[in-house]
Structure 1
């Protein structure tokens, strides 16, 4: 499971579809609808948010917005209620940079055209995240 800090606009088609599926799984875990994945490290920052359910729904809404921009048909009814003024999830520059390198490495072999398109870009975060100075997240497994 990878719930990217990076804005979903940088993901290739395979990555965006995987993010949608994994985010829906994360939503089910946070809602208590699964037995597995309860302690998955990617969920820590959502659990630490004062409204974990709204946070994962807000994350899904951002992924859905990117799917619409690309002309895909992700099922919006799967997203739970969202808040217009949801407090951001804090993430660090180290985490964003780590994920950027991880994504570029994946794209280089999986989607060379997408890699060529974004390799010189600067990483930008999903709007749900507030990026602050700091190292890679403690829960990350580099």
Structure 2
């Protein structure tokens, strides 16, 4: 499961659609509708949020917004608690600059292989913006990240 901390605009089609499916699974886990993935480390930051359902709803809404801007049609009715006016209505989750840098390198490696035209346009960007649900703070790679 990869719930990208990066802004959805950087994701290629595969990462965006895969992220949508995985975030829907995360939503089901947080709502206790499934037994699988209950202890997945990426869910820690959502569980620690004051309102996990609204946080994952905001996360999903931003993915759906990006999909719409590309002409894709993600089924927003699958979001339990969609963000009505963007991420501003939900408390942001801190994400460290080290985590963003790690995910950025991970994404760039994927883009170079499967979507080189996107990689060419992004490879020189130093440190990208986080997903609208997150706020960047100084720090190392998150403790929940499984570094490969």
Matches within 5 A, 1:1-142: 1-82=1-82, 84=85, 85-121=89-125, 122-142=127-147
Partners of 1:27 and 1:62 in 2: how far apart? 14
TM-score, structure 2 length as denominator?
0.93
SS of 1:91's partner is strand
Please give the alpha-carbon distance, in whole angstroms, between the structure 2 residues aligned to 1:123 and 1:103. Answer: 11
Offset of residue 82 of structure 1:
3.7
SS in 1 for 2:25: helix
Runs of 4 or more above 6 Å deviation: none
Give the superposition deviation at 1:114: 1.1
Mapped contact 2:60–2:82 kept (Cα < 8 A): no
Cα distance in 2 for residues equivalent to 1:87 and 1:35: 27
Equivalent pairs, count: 142
Structure 2 gaps of 5+ residues are none
Name the Cα RMSD after superposition: 1.0
Paired with 2:123 and 2:24, the residues of 1 have a C-alpha distance of: 28
| Counterpart-to-counterpart distance in 2, 1:77 and 1:46 | 21
Which sections of structure 1, spanning at least 5 residues, go unmatched?
A: none
Q: Distance in 1 between matches of 2:41 and 2:146?
A: 9
TM-score by length of 1: 0.96
